[in-house]
Amino acid sequence: MIIGILASGICHLAVEWKNKLGWDDALDVCGVHGIGGTLGTILLGVFAVKSVGGSAGLIEGNVSFFMKELISVAIAAVYAFAFTYVILLIINTITKVKVS
């Protein structure tokens, strides 16, 4: 429940920030899925308990699992950015991605 409460608040703030900056994200994918998923994955590394899922988190003293979660988030973010960038470059050669 703590992860859900924190994620909902952070996602709302991310969407509001995106709107304030005028970024083009019509479906709020980055603010909801990107930020929410990142926060949820990191907090899993904090709150995981061995009795429920097999791996203890940071609260139970398992720094190794928490670090794996941080590394996983970093790798996923780099992969998502690179893949999206390449796909948008390809699409942009066929038709403009953003209209005026």
Q: What is the pLDDT of residues 39-84, one digit of tens each?
A: 999 999 999 988 887 888 899 898 999 999 999 999 999 999 999 9
Whether the per-residue pLDDT at 87 is higher than 90: the answer is yes
User: What number is the average pLDDT over the span 78-91?
Assistant: 94
User: What number is the average pLDDT over the span 11-37?
Assistant: 89
What are the extents of the domains in the chain?
Answer: 2-72
Percent of the chain with pLDDT over 70: 100
Q: What is the DSSP string of the chain?
A: -HHHHHHHHHHHHHHHHHHHHT---TT-HIIIIIHHHHHHHHHHHHH--HHHHSS--GGGT-HHHHHHHHHHHHHHHHHHHHHHHHHHHHHHHHS-SS--
Q: For position 99, what pLDDT does the model report?
A: 73
